[in-house]
A and B are shown apart, each in its own frame.
Chain A
Amino acid sequence: MTRLFAGTPTHGLVLLVLLLAALVAAPLIANDYLLTILILILYFAYAGQAWNIMMGFAGQLSLGHALYVGLGAYTASALYVHFGVAPWLGLLVAVPVAMLAGAVIGFLAFRFGVAGVYFAILTIAFAEFARIGFDHISYVGGSAGFFLPVAQYTQNDLWNLRGRPVMFYYVILALAALAFMLCHLLLRSRMGYFWQAIREDEEAARALGIDTFRYKMYAVVISAGMTAVAGVFFAFFYNNLFPEQVFHISRSIELILAPIIGGVGTLFGPIVGAFLLTGLSEAVTETLHALGFEIPGAKQVFYGICLLVVVMALPDGIWPWLARRLGLERRS
C-alpha cells in the first residue's frame, strides 16, 4: 500500500480519502436523480481511464472506443438473454472478445505503420463497420434493438445485476476505484515507463531497445478489455441496445471528452473531467430551465462554448492546473 502512494504529498492523500468517503456515503444523502448523475459521472470516469491507457500512456488516439463498449455490451447481453448466463460470467467472454478486436486493430495498425491521425481514422472505420454490421445481426436484435428482460426492482440481485440504482452505483464506484488503482500500478510499473517513453518519442524508445510493437499492443488490448467491462455495465443498466446508438461515433466522442478535458495521461484527469463535464451539462440545463429559456439547442451551445474555452485556456487539461493549485505536484 505504501508503494502505491509513495511520493504523494500527505494533503493529497487526505483529499483522496475524503473524496472516496464522500462517494461511498453519497447514497445516504442523495436522491435517485443525483445518484443517476453520479452513476453517469463514474461511468465516464471509468471508461475515460480505460481510454486513457491507450492515449495518455501509449500515445495512440482512438476515436472508435465505442466499439469495445458495444462488443462488451452485446456479448454479455446475448449470453444473458439466450443462455441465462450472469453478467459476471458473461464478462469472462465479453472482455476477451473486445481484447481480440483491439488486438486485430492494433496488429493491423502497428504492423503497417498506421499512426497519429490515420490511426484515429482507422479506429473510427472499425467502429462504423461494427455499427452497420450489428444492424444486420438479428440474433442480437439488429437495428430493431436488443432488449434485456427487466425482472424486478424490489431486491438487489448483484449476481444478475438487476436492482435499484444504489446497487449499480456501488458497482460502478468499485469499478472506477479499481480502474484508478490499476492505472496507478501500471504507470509505476516497468511497462508504464516504457509506455511513456513510446509516447514521448517512439523512435528514440525503439533505439533504446524497447519492443515498441509489443508494448503498444499491450496498451491497446488492456484498454479494450477494460472498456468492455463498461459495456457490460451499460447493457445491464439500460437494458436495451441499439447498434445505431451504442456504436455511434458520438458515443466514442462522449467517452473521450472527460479524459481530454480532465488531462490526458494523468490519473485524475478522467475523474475530474467526468465530474466537471457531467456537472456542467446538468448545471447548464438547470440554469436555462430556471431562467425560462426552454429553447432546444441552447444548452448544447453553452456547453460547446464552455468546452471551447477550457480547451483553449487549459491545453493540458484541467487536472494539471488544479493539481498545481492544490499543491499536488504529482508527476504522472
Chain B
Amino acid sequence: MSQSTHALTRRRLLAATAAATATLAAPAIVRAQGGPLKVGVLLPRSGYQASIGQDCFRGVELANPILKDIGLGELQIMSADTETNVDVARSRAEKLIADGAQLLMGAFDSGQSSAIAQVAEQKGIPFVINIAAAPPITEQGYKFVFRNFPTAPMILNDAFTNQKEIFEAAGSAPKSVVFMHVNDTFGTAMAGGIGGVMPRHNMPYTIKETISYDPAARDLSVEISKAKAAGAEALLVVSRINDAILLTREMVKQRWTPQGVLSMGPGWYEDQYLKTLGKIGDGPLSFVPWYDPNKKLAKALEAALAAKYPNLDMNTNHVYTFEALLIAADAYKRAGSADPKALADAIRATDIKDNVSTGPGISFDAKGQNVKLKNSAIQNRGGKLVTVAPKGATNASAVWPMPAYDKRG
C-alpha cells in the first residue's frame, strides 16, 4: 500500500461518494484511494447452504440506504458465492482481494469462514464474520479477523438465563427435559458446551436423555419415539429448519405435546416453519442471537425489510449480516482511509451503541470477538414472532406451557 497517496485520500473522499452502486468488480489490482469502501461479501448462495446464504444476502441488499441515513458512507459491495465449498471459499477470497477488496465479510459456515480467515490474515485484510459459532475461529491469535456473533458457550449462557426469567414470569417450569440436537457443527458445539455451562445456572430441570440425530435425516419418527419414551416434560433442542419442521410434524402425529419447546438454535422461528405449519407452529421458544425490537436502528432495518420483502420476518441472518457491514462502514469513517492496518485498528476500537442486535452494542476484545452480545428469547405467536426476553429488550411476555397440538383446531 502506497503511503504517499494518503494525503490525496481526504480530498478525494468528498468527491467520490457517488460511485457506490456498482456490484461488478472492475478488475483493478490498484486499490482506489478514497471513494466508497470495497467490501468483498462471501456467502454460500448455491450448494447445501444456499437458502441461508441467500437470506443473509438480503441483509446486504438493505444496508446501503440505511448506512447513508445514519451518516456513514455507502459501501461498494463485491459479492462472491462460496458454493458451500471450502476450496471455492478460499479461492474466491483470494480473487476478491486481488480485485481490490479492502475488507471481507462472510461466510456463515464455520469451515468456510475459517479458510477465509486464514487468507485475510495472510494478506492483512480485515475480515468481519457475520455468522459462525465455532469457538476456535477467534482463538487462533488472528489480528485481522473479527466476529460479531456469539460463540456457542455465549448462546448457551444467555439461553439458560432467559429460560429462568421466563419460567419465573410464567410461574411454572419443567422438571425434566429431553435434549435433542442435530449432529452437525453447531449442534455438536452446543451439546459439547452444555456440560460446562448448565451447572452454573441452577436450572429447575434436569436432562433426562440426550438424542443426537443426522442432519440429513428425512425421517425423525424414531427420534421422537425415543423422546416421547423418555418421559420428560419439555423438549430442549438444537436443530435446523428442516428438522424443526419434521420434529414438529412427528410430535403431532405421535400425539405428544411437551410443556414447551426450548430451542437454542435456528429453525423453529423461521418464516418457512411458520408458513408451513400454520397454527401448529405456535408456541416454541427460541433462544437465539436476535435484534432488540426497541432499538431505533432495528426498527429502521425492519421497515426496510418489510418494504422490500413484505412476506418475510426479520431474523438473525439479516441482522448480523447488516451489522457486519455497519461495522465496516463505521470503521472506515473513523479510520479515514482504506489502509488495511488502519481499518483493522479502527475495527478493534469499535464502540457502536446504536446497533440492531440485543445487548449493549458492538465492541471487540483483544481476540476480535464481541463478548458483550446478548441473546434474546423469541416465541412464535399467531404466525409471527414476539421477543419475550431479556427484560428491557422485549415486546411481549412469554406463554408457558404451550397449548396441546391436538387442541389447536
- Looking at chain B's contact residues, the main secondary structure is helix
CB distance B45 to A40 under 8 Å?
no
Which residue of the partner chain B has the closest CB to A282?
B91
* One of A143, A151, A153, A282 near B183 (C-beta < 8 A): A143
A245 to B114 CA separation, bound complex (whole angstroms)? 14
A240 to B111 CA separation, bound complex (whole angstroms)? 7
CB distance B122 to A33 under 8 Å?
no
Which residue of the partner chain B has the closest CB to A136?
B183
Q: Which of B79-87, B201-209, B293-301, B383-391 contacts A (4 or more CB under 8 A)?
A: B79-87
B134 is an interface residue with CB less than 8 A from chain A: yes
Contact (A145, B24) CB under 8 Å given A33-B98, A238-B90: no
A300 is an interface residue with CB less than 8 A from chain B: yes
**Which residues, 143 to 184 on B, are CB-close (under 8 Å) to A?**
183-184
CB distance B29 to A149 under 8 Å?
no
Chain A proximity mask over B390-402: 1 for CB below 8 Å, otherwise 0: 0000000000000
CB distance B188 to A144 under 8 Å?
yes
B217 to chain A, nearest CB (A): 12
CB distance A33 to B46 under 8 Å?
no
CB distance B91 to A33 under 8 Å?
yes
B376 is an interface residue with CB less than 8 A from chain A: no
Q: How large is the interface on A (under 10, 10 to 19, 20 to 34, 35 or more residues)?
A: 35 or more
**Which residues, 1 to 51 on A, are CB-close (under 8 Å) to B?**
31-37, 40
CB distance A40 to B140 under 8 Å?
no
B187 is an interface residue with CB less than 8 A from chain A: yes
CB distance A32 to B114 under 8 Å?
no
CB distance A150 to B118 under 8 Å?
yes
A142 to B190 CA separation, bound complex (whole angstroms)? 13
Contact (A145, B110) CB under 8 Å given A31-B98, A240-B115, A282-B91: yes
Contact (A242, B111) CB under 8 Å given A282-B91, A289-B24: yes
Residues of A within 8 A of B87 (CB): 40
CB distance B123 to A32 under 8 Å?
yes
A294 is an interface residue with CB less than 8 A from chain B: yes
A136 to B212 CA separation, bound complex (whole angstroms)? 10
A238 to B90 CA separation, bound complex (whole angstroms)? 9
Residues of A within 8 A of B136 (CB): 145, 147, 240
Residues of B within 8 A of A153 (CB): 121-122
B94 is an interface residue with CB less than 8 A from chain A: yes
Residues of B within 8 A of A196 (CB): none
* One of B46, B91, B188 near A142 (C-beta < 8 A): B188
B189 is an interface residue with CB less than 8 A from chain A: yes
CB distance B184 to A294 under 8 Å?
no
* One of A31, A33, A34, A296 near B45 (C-beta < 8 A): A296
CB distance B187 to A143 under 8 Å?
yes
Contact (A244, B184) CB under 8 Å given A33-B97, A144-B134: yes
Residues of B within 8 A of A35 (CB): 94
* One of B94, B140, B184 near A150 (C-beta < 8 A): B140
**Which residues, 259 to 311 on A, are CB-close (under 8 Å) to B?**
282, 289-290, 292, 294, 296-297, 299-300
**Which residues, 98 to 121 on B, are CB-close (under 8 Å) to A?**
98, 110-111, 114-115, 118, 121
CB distance A296 to B183 under 8 Å?
no
CB distance B183 to A135 under 8 Å?
yes
Contact (A147, B114) CB under 8 Å given A33-B94, A289-B24, A292-B24: yes
A164 is an interface residue with CB less than 8 A from chain B: yes
A-B contact list, 9 entries, CB within 8 Å: A32-B122, A32-B123, A33-B97, A40-B91, A143-B185, A149-B140, A238-B86, A244-B184, A289-B25
Q: What would 7 more interface pairs be, CB under 8 Å, given A145-B134, A151-B141? A: A40-B91, A138-B192, A143-B188, A164-B122, A290-B24, A296-B50, A299-B46
Closest 5 CB pairs of A and B: A296-B45, A33-B94, A147-B136, A144-B188, A296-B46
